Amino acid sequence: MSSSPPRSPAPPVRRFEGAKTTTAIPARDRHVLDALIVASLDPAVRAIAPADSLTISLDGLPVQHVPDFRLQTDGQEIIVDVYRPSRAKAARTRFEAVAQALASQGIAYECREPTPIHGSPLVMNARSVWGCRHASVAAADQVAVLALLRQRSPLPLAEVAQVVRAGDPVSSILALVCRDLVEADLAAGPLGPDTPIRRRRLPPQSRDVASARPGAPNGGN
């Protein structure tokens, strides 16, 4: 009978879902989860999806690599890995092989360092906003917020919250940010009453369709 201690079970893998995902995305650690949250709240990102496995060559041997996720912006698809600098240095050969394999397919690749928590408000702001994603928003309040931002945008968070009549006004606005209906500037400073909130900008093709409609106003914002 073996006297070796039992192995600890592997920590569960978080699975990320949001307004920009069509399926759950595995997040192997907190850094990847933060990166997914930030991407979901980034107006430049249109869609987030799991990345496909690819075969790379290391020391002449085929190796499978699964990047952390795939981003779709208005003009580009980007495959992303998130690694701490120390680990990225040790695995530099692997990441260079991944970049080369994807470049041969015409696909952009980025090995990103985790966004710092200290010295930048982005991650803490994103976590705070994401914590409101399940807040209930009355249909009338959603319409009122979108109508206000259609007339004037951007506006301070505190001012936009004044049109919300049900539930917690600030949580309602932040829930709409999580649902990709409005945008918040989370990099300018700590989340607060002056945080800019703006109407969600349409992708170029949607702006073209909207501007072609009879009676449509000029401009996409």
Domains and CATH numbers, the chain: 14-112 (3.40.1350.10), 133-205 (1.10.10.10)
pLDDT at 33: 96
Residue 111 contacts residue 67 (beta carbons within 8 Å)? no
All residue ranges of the chain with pLDDT < 50 are 1-5, 8, 208-212, 217, 219-221
Q: Which of 130, 120, 107, 94 is nearest to 14 (CA)?
A: 130
pLDDT at 185: 96
Geometric angle at alpha carbon 220, from 217 and 221, rounded to 5°: 105
pLDDT at 202: 75
CA distances from 96 to 26, 59, 101, 153, 180 (A): 23, 13, 9, 42, 34
pLDDT at 183: 97
pLDDT at 143: 98
Backbone angles phi, psi at 147, to 5 degrees: -65, -40
pTM of the entire structure? 0.84
